[in-house]
Each structure stands twice: as C-alpha cells, then as structure tokens.
C-alpha cells in the first residue's frame, strides 16, 4: 500500500447546520440459574488463520424450538416464575406458553394457505394433513407487530409452535416501509394488539395478508382474581415439556430436519443498503441462545431491564430470547427513558442498603444510550447522583454493542458506576460472535474474542493482493449463522467465502492479546484519504474526548485532491450550545478542534471539514446511516 505522507492544505469549512431530517431514514429518539439445558460446547481444532479454540457440537440434542421448550419447562418447574414484566403487570412462564398455544391454535385454524398447500395444489398427490393430525403452517410467514409486551413474546412463540416463521416488525416503521417488508417476506398473517388494530388491519389488507389480534395474555394479578390458571399438565399433553414435540402425535411436521427449518426473518437496519431479510433457523437460534446463556451466565435469578427494539437482534436475542431460555425475568421499558432507567435502578437498590425483590440485575444497551445516561447523571443534583451511582453499581452485568463504544464513554461510565461495560460484536446475520469475557480482562477499544465454536478469519489482502498489516475484512463461521437472505440467492452466495465463512463487510484486526478491534464498515467507516485507509471510529473516539463535544460522527466526503476528505459532524454539549448562542460564535471551530486533536491523531487523520449540528440523525438502534448522510452532504458541497 502506498503510504506517502500527505501534505495537506486544509480547506476549513464550518457550517451551522440542522440535518435535513426528512431526507433520511430516522428516528431521532432512541425508541429507544436455573439455566435450562445449557448444552456443552466441545472442542475442535482451529483450521484458519485466526480461529476460536472450541467448536459447538453439531450433535447437541435439541435444535428445534428450544426457546419454546425452555419456556415450557420453566413454567412446569416453577409455575410462579415470572417471564415478563410490562406496564406494571407480571406474566408467568406458564401463562406465556399457554397464550402461545392459544395463538398457535388460532393460526392453525385460520385459512392461511401454507407453502406446503401451495405445493400440494401443484401436485395433488401430496397429502398434508391426511393423517388426521393438526395442520401446521409449514413455514408461512407471520408478521408480529406489537409493542414490547407479553403479547409480542406469546406471538413469536405461538408462531413457532404452529410451524410458522416469525417476522418481527417495528411499530415505528412508516407505512411504506412496513408494506415493503411485508410484501418482501410474503406475510400470510399479521398479528397485533388491539391498540394498533386500525392501522395494521389496513396495512395487512394492502398486502393481501390476514389480520388477527393476539389475545391479551392474562397477568398474574388478573389470574389471582379469575382463577384462570393454566396448569403444566395441560401444556405437557402437547408434548412440549417432555421435549418430544418433533414426535408428537398431535402435530404433523413436514420434514425430519425441523431444526434446519426457517424460524425467523429479521430485516437488517439498512445502514449499508436496502434492508434485507435475514433468515434464521431453529438450529441457529438454539445455538445462539445457548452460547449467550453460557458465556454471560444468564440464570433464572437474573432480571433484565429491556429498552431496545425487538426487530433487531440485540433486543430480540441478547435481551429477550436468551434470558427466557435461561429462565430469567425480562422487564420491558418500551420507550428508552434516561430518567426512567436511573429511577428503576434506584428502586432496585435503595440507599438504605436493601434490595428490592424485583431488583434489576442485567442491562444491555447501545452506546448512545450510555451517552444519554451519562448526560442524565450529570444533570442530577449531588444527592441523587450518589444514590444513582451506588444503585447502578449493584447490577450484576452491563453490556454494550451494536455500534462502536467510544473510549471516553466507556471510561466515564466506569468512573460513575464502577462497571466496565462488556462490549461485544454482532450482526443480524450471525447474532453475536465475538465478546469480551464476563470474568477475565475486558479490554477497552476491543470487542474481545470469538465465542466458543465461532471461527473468525481476517482477509488480510487488499484488492491488489497486497498485505494490509493485519487489517482486513472479518469473516465469521458460527453455529448461529443465518441460513440465507430471503429471496436473494445470489446475494447469499456472494456473502460467503470458501469454507462457509460469512463476509461481514466490517474491517478489523487482532491485537497482541488476541482481542479483536473493529475498525468499522468498509463501505461507510473506512475512508480512503490520499494513500491512507482511515477508520472513522478511531477518529470519532478521539474527538469525543473534547470537552465541548457531546456526540460526533466522522465520514469521508469526496475530495478531488485526496479521494476523500475527513469530515466531522459534532453535536456540542448543552452548555456549549447555550454559550454559542450567547456569544454568537460557534462552540468550536475547525482550527480549535485540529489544534487540540493533533496531540491525539496523526496529521492525516485530522478533519478538514466540520459541521456543528443540534443532533445526529440516528435510527432505532442509535446508528447514523453514513451512506445516506454522505450523499446529502456531498450534494451540498
Ligand atoms: N461492538 C461493536 N463495535 C463496532 N461495530 C459494531 C459493534 N457491534 C456491532 N457493530 C456494527 O453493527 C453491524 C451490525 O448491525 P446490523 O446487523 O444491524 O447491520 P447494520 O450495519 O446496522 O445494517 P445493514 O446490514 O442493513 O447495513 C456490524 O456489522 C458492525 O458494523
């Protein structure tokens, strides 16, 4: 690689600019043990340049509907154990599974034309339910559109229970996007709750899907009054508790390889292109929930505070399916609220040193959530700060991911709460694959090491065949790898290299301790400036240390001399914004920023363009769509 030093003439630009919110796909507000049958993970020799020490046993016993079975077993073993808390109500495991069975009946009794029946029409000799068994959906897609709630969970489990493929969709999607995803995945039925009936009935009819309301899940308090308690025996009759559902006489299963059947389609965030439907199987889901439960020691004693969207893997797997698999309690706080979260932690661990019965033990969030929580903490009076910090300290585990955790945020959080955030790396296509350890050293600026059974390769040659000093595209092979992109066989094929490794599109390297460092999306975070390949994430992390900077986004804009120019967009802190208005002077100039940053960044990494904005356009996962932003800014140049 040609690494000649660039002699730059800075083209200083400063804009006070409010981003054109409507032109981007946004959601400025962040809408945000009794470990059951944790299967052992066995060793396997490594076979590629960088690989994991151990491999998941492909012969582990259960791969079909393990989450459903685990929920049932938990309900059976501990009938009073709480699976979900939402809207001040509690819902037991037994009640969730009992509602899932009701939903399954509802789906099976609907006149959804299953994919098998469609095939039967073409070939009438195929008998689907000729054996008198209950008819299953045979892979029909069921859209689940509900706020985070017991009904949402029962909807997912009920869909699986009836042989359907769950497609969790966001209520926050504009109608056009909902329609795109529903049409793309050929949804047969939309399940929702009464509060969204009107909107979703209309959307469902537009894409020729049926619509049904998820029957309200009775809460534990309503059960006490109504004596409407489901008993483990009722559910066991269906063969779930005994784990024999595949062989159950009650149901017809279309194939012997049910574990390989699609179970879930999740649409990617669209950070790098149009959202694609990622198909996960029962097998890949099982592998992932087992891995997470084991690695992070989720148990039935854990209580999760959940404030993430459920149509992305972080909120769905890390904070819901794996906890349910482990028998934990998940408490939904559907709208991320800084005040609400601090308060919930304080209620969990009051200043008198006691601990509430429903005390939160685990929290997982995206970096922007922690930034906001730090801002909320700084705005508290000293007494409240002491109570908040000491309560947060009591949680067992705090985790972060979905985008890069900037070092200053990690350090500030550790100073306030004593928690070194456990940062991990994941993606819709394989859920989580690399993680800092629960007990050993969590290394700042890294995402840790591959989970047992996960193999990671780094393609260290660039397009010209030159070695890139250990930096390259991460490729992942994992038992939790997706099956395919929905209806995109060519894209699926192109996403894999020999040996079944999935090309992530992320650039990274391994440090001297074997920990992985993520440098960002090759298509959006890696800038080519002169002869250099620069990581926007590294520059963002450095700029965030500046005292007036609250948030920052770095991207490359087209530049006729250097190919790309480093552009920084900064959101100043609240007090700097006030001062900016009083002094009629920008909170920070490009000269000031560069003169401060030259101690931290090499000269060729310093920004040459600066924008000051009131906020950054972030999606539901707190991510900035840099591809879109680049287009908007490039057009303005
Ligand atoms: N700890 C982390 N550090 C840095 N980046 C991370 C981390 N965790 C996740 N990411 C980023 O998030 C990406 C996965 O998120 P997701 O699957 O939602 O895709 P996306 O990039 O947001 O959207 P799309 O695939 O549609 O472009 C990873 O490829 C990586 O770029």
Task: State phi, psi for 510 to the nearest 5 degrees.
Answer: -110, 135
Which residue lies with its CA nearest to atom 6 of ligand 1? 403
Q: Classify the phi-psi angles of 586: left when phi > 0, otherwise alpha if psi is within -120 to 50, otherwise beta.
A: beta
Output the CA 402–ligand 1 centroid distance in Å: 5
Q: Is the CB of 623 under 6 A from ligand 1?
A: yes
Helix 367-378, helix 338-348: angle, nearest 10: 80
Per DSSP, the three-state class of 25 is coil
pLDDT (average), residues 490-500: 96
Query: With a 6 A CB cut-off, is 526 part of the ligand 1 pocket?
Result: no
> Is any atom of ligand 1 closer than 6 Å to the C-beta of 433?
no
- pTM equals 0.84
CB-CB contact of 401 with 425 (8 Å): yes
Closest among 474, 437, 305 to 373, alpha carbons compared:
305
pLDDT value of position 1:
33
* Residue to probe by mutation, ligand 1, list 275, 400, 428, most atoms within 8 Å of CB: 428
92 compared with 43, residue with greater pLDDT: 92
Q: Ligand 1 in contact with 404 (CB < 6 A)?
A: yes
For residue 119, pLDDT beyond 90: no
pLDDT at 213 over 60: yes
Distance from C-alpha of 483 to C-alpha of 472, rounded to nearest angstrom: 24
Q: What is the pLDDT of residue 40?
A: 27
Q: Whose CA is nearest to atom 11 of ligand 1?
A: 403
Q: Residue 511's closest CA among 539, 452, 470? A: 470
Cβ atoms of 559 and 527 closer than 8 Å: no
Beta strands in 236-340 (DSSP E): 262-267, 277-281, 303-306, 329-332
User: In 143-301, which residue ranges form alpha helices assigned H by DSSP?
Assistant: 150-161, 175-184, 197-206, 220-226, 232-236, 282-295
Q: Determine how many CB atoms are found less than 10 A away from the CB of residue 205.
A: 12
Write the CA distances from 80 to 38, 156, 221, 288, 322, integer angstroms: 22, 22, 12, 27, 20
Task: Specify the 3-state DSSP secondary structure of 434.
Answer: strand
Helices and strands (H and E) in the chain: how many:
20, 29
The more confident residue out of 504 and 246 is 504
| CA distance linking residue 191 with residue 204, whole number of Å | 10
**67 vs 73, 82, 154, 241, CA distance in Å?**
10, 15, 12, 12
Q: Answer yes or no: is pLDDT of 551 > 90.
A: yes
> Which residue in the block uniquely carries the two structure tokens 């391994």?
510
Instruction: Return mean pLDDT, the chain.
Output: 83
Residue 235: name the closest of 131, 95, 138 by CA.
95
Dist CA 411 CA 621 (whole Å): 22
ipTM of the complex: 0.96
Q: What average pLDDT does this structure show over 318-325? A: 98
Q: Say yes or no: CB of residue 361 within 6 Å of ligand 1.
A: no
Orientation angle between helical segments 407-417 and 382-393, nearest 10 degrees = 100
Nearest CA to ligand 1 atom 28: 427
Q: 3-state DSSP call for residue 472?
A: strand
214-223, 408-417, 431-440, 540-549 — which is least confidently predicted? 214-223
What the block records as the tokens of 117 is 């029946």
- Spatial separation of the C-alpha atoms in residues 223 and 200, rounded to whole Å: 29
Q: Check pocket membership of 447 for ligand 1, CB cut-off 6 A.
A: yes
pLDDT at 46 over 70: no
pLDDT value at 255 more than 60: no
Rounded to the nearest 10 degrees, what angle do helices 590-597 and 536-543 cross at?
100
What DSSP element (H or E) covers 141?
Answer: strand 141-145
Q: Does the C-beta of 506 come closer than 6 Å to ligand 1?
A: yes
Residue 520 host element (H or E): strand 516-521
Cα 497 to averaged position of ligand 1 atoms, centre (Å): 20
Instruction: Give pLDDT tens digits for 353-376.
Output: 999 999 999 999 999 999 999 999
Q: For residue 427, report the distance from its CA to the centre of ligand 1, in Å.
A: 5
CA-to-CA distance for 348 and 624, rounded, in angstroms?
Answer: 33
What whole-number percentage of the chain has pLDDT above 90? Answer: 63
Tell me the pLDDT tens digit for each residue of 197-210.
998 999 999 999 99
| Lowest mean pLDDT, pick from 15-24, 524-533, 581-590 | 15-24
Backbone φ, ψ for residue 412 (5° rounding):
-60, -40
Confidence of residue 224 (pLDDT cuts 50, 70, 90): low
In sequence order, which residues have a C-beta less than 8 Å from that of residue 439 and are 6 or more positions away?
none
Whether residue 225 is predicted with pLDDT greater than 80 in this model: the reply is no
519: left (phi over 0), alpha (psi -120 to 50) or beta: alpha
Least confident of 39-48, 124-133, 411-420: 39-48
Quote the DSSP letter at residue 317: I
At 130 the pLDDT is 38
Which residue's CA lies nearest to atom 15 of ligand 1? 427
Can you tell me the mean pLDDT for 267-291?
Answer: 88
Q: 108 in ligand 1 pocket by Cβ < 6 Å?
A: no
Rounded CA-CA distance 154/68 in Å is 10
Beta carbon of 266 within 6 Å of any ligand 1 atom:
no
Say if ligand 1 is within 6 A of residue 272 CB.
yes
271 pLDDT band, cuts 50/70/90, is low
Ligand 1 neighbour 401 (Cβ under 6 A):
yes
**Which H/E stretch holds residue 387?**
helix 382-393
Residue nearest to atom 4 of ligand 1 (CA): 404
| 85 touches 91 (CB < 8 A) | yes
Centroid of chain to Cα 483:
18
Q: Considering the chain, what percentage of its residues have pLDDT values greater than 70?
A: 79
List, as one string, the DSSP characters of 574-614.
Answer: HHHHHHHHHHTS-SS-HHHHHHHHTTTS-GGGS-SEEEE-S
Token pair 């690695």 is at which residue? 295
Question: What is the model's pLDDT at position 95?
Answer: 94
Residue nearest to atom 13 of ligand 1 (CA): 427
């Amino acid at each position: 690689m040609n690494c000649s030093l660039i002699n730059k003439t800075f083209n200083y630009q400063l804009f006070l600019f409010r981003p054109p919110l409507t032109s981007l796909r946004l959601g400025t507000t962040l809408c945000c043990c009794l470990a059951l049958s944790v299967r052992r993970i066995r060793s396997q020799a490594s076979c590629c340049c960088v690989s994991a020490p151990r491999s998941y046993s492909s012969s582990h016993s259960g791969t079909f509907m393990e989450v459903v079975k685990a929920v049932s077993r938990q309900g059976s073993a501990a009938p009073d154990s709480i699976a979900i808390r939402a809207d001040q109500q509690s819902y037991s495991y037994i009640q969730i599974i009992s509602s899932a069975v009701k939903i399954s009946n509802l789906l099976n009794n609907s006149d959804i034309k299953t994919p098998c029946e469609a095939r039967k029409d073409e070939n009438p000799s195929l008998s689907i339910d000729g054996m008198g068994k209950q008819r299953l959906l045979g892979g029909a897609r069921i859209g689940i559109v509900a706020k985070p709630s017991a009904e949402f969970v029962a909807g997912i489990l009920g869909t699986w229970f009836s042989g359907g493929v769950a497609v969790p969709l966001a209520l926050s999607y504009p109608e056009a996007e909902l329609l795109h995803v529903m049409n793309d995945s050929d949804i047969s039925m939309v399940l929702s709750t009464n509060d969204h009936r009107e909107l979703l009935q209309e959307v469902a009819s537009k894409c020729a899907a049926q619509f049904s309301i998820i029957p309200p899940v009775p809460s534990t308090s309503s059960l006490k009054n109504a004596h409407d308690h489901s008993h483990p025996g009722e559910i066991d009759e269906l063969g779930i508790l005994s784990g024999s559902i595949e062989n159950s006489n009650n149901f017809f299963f279309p194939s012997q390889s049910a574990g390989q059947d699609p179970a879930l389609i999740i649409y990617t965030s669209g950070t790098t292109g149009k959202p694609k439907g990622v198909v996960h199987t029962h097998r890949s889901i099982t592998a992932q929930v087992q891995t997470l439960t084991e690695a992070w020691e989720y148990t039935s004693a854990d209580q999760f505070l959940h404030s993430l969207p459920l149509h992305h893997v972080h909120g769905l797997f890390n904070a819901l399916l794996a906890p349910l698999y482990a028998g934990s309690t998940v408490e939904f706080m559907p709208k991320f609220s800084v005040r609400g979260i601090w308060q919930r932690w304080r209620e969990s661990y009051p200043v008198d040193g006691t601990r509430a019965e429903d005390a939160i033990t685990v929290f997982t969030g995206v970096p922007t959530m922690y930034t906001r929580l730090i801002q909320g903490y700084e705005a508290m009076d000293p007494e409240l700060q002491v109570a908040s910090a000491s309560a947060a300290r009591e949680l067992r585990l705090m985790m972060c991911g979905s985008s890069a955790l900037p070092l200053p945020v990690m350090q500030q959080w550790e100073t306030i709460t004593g928690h070194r955030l456990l940062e991990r790396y994941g993606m819709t296509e394989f859920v989580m694959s690399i993680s800092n350890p629960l007990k050993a050293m969590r290394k700042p600026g890294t995402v840790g090491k591959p989970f047992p059974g996960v193999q990671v390769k780094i393609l260290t040659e660039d397009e010209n065949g030159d070695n890139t000093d250990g930096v390259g595209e991460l490729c992942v092979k994992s038992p939790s790898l997706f099956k395919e992109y929905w209806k995109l066989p060519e894209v699926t094929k192109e996403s894999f290299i020999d040996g079944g490794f999935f090309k992530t599109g992320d650039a990274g390297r391994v440090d001297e301790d074997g920990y992985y460092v993520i440098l960002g999306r090759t298509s959006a975070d890696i800038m080519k400036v002169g002869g250099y390949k620069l990581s926007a994430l590294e520059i963002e992390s450095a700029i965030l240390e500046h005292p007036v900077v609250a948030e920052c986004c770095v991207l490359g804009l087209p530049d006729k001399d250097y190919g790309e120019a480093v552009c920084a967009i900064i959101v100043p802190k609240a007090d700097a914004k006030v001062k900016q208005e009083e002094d009629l002077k920008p909170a920070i100039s490009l000269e000031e920023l560069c003169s401060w940053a030259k101690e931290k960044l090499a000269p060729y990494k310093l920004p040459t363009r600066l924008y000051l904005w009131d906020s950054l356009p972030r999606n539901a996962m707190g991510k900035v769509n840099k591809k879109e932003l680049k287009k908007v800014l490039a057009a303005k140049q």
